[in-house]
Copies of this chain bind each other. A is one copy, B any other.
Amino acid sequence: MGRGLPVVPTARPGIAVPDVTDLVATAALLADRTRAGILALLANGPHCVCEMAAATGERENNVSNHLARLRAAGLVRASRHGADARWVYYERDEAACAAALGQLRRLLA
């Protein structure tokens, strides 16, 4: 019962909010249909831009835009195809994805 609600709420000063800026940034990356679909696709292995554009039903330049943001965040890596270097293949950085999940887990525990 000592664990119950306080009698006077304002008697509890100095409640600090932890820094959530990086957590919010990673959540914002996932809060988009196209980007989330891209990450889901890349869970099965690497794909090129045109494949993901066809799978998501989005334009290739749009998918490339979202991939640039994911790459800037370090969640995906890009590499050109060996046989035909016109195709750029993307793959997930599993360590970075695990770190992103760790941030979210620290909040939702």
Chain A positions near chain B (C-beta within 8 angstroms): 5, 7, 9-10, 12, 15-18, 20-21, 23-24, 27-28, 30-33, 36-37, 39-41, 43, 46-48, 50-51, 54-56, 81-83, 87, 89, 97-98, 100-101, 104-105, 107-109
Known: A87-B9, A104-B104, A108-B39. A27 touches B24 (CB 8 A): no
For this chain, the copies found in one complex come to 2
Given contacts A97-B108, A108-B98, contact A40 B18 (CB under 8 A): yes
- Contact call A109/B43, Cβ cutoff below 8 A: yes
- Asked whether B36 lies within 8 Å of A23 as measured between CB atoms, the reply is yes
Question: 9 closest pairs, A vs B, by CB?
Answer: A27-B30, A28-B31, A27-B31, A101-B108, A20-B36, A17-B37, A31-B31, A15-B55, A97-B108
Summarize A's interface: helix, strand, loop or mixed: helix
Contacts of A101 in B (CB 8 A): 104-105, 108-109
Q: Is the CB of A89 within 8 A of B15?
A: no
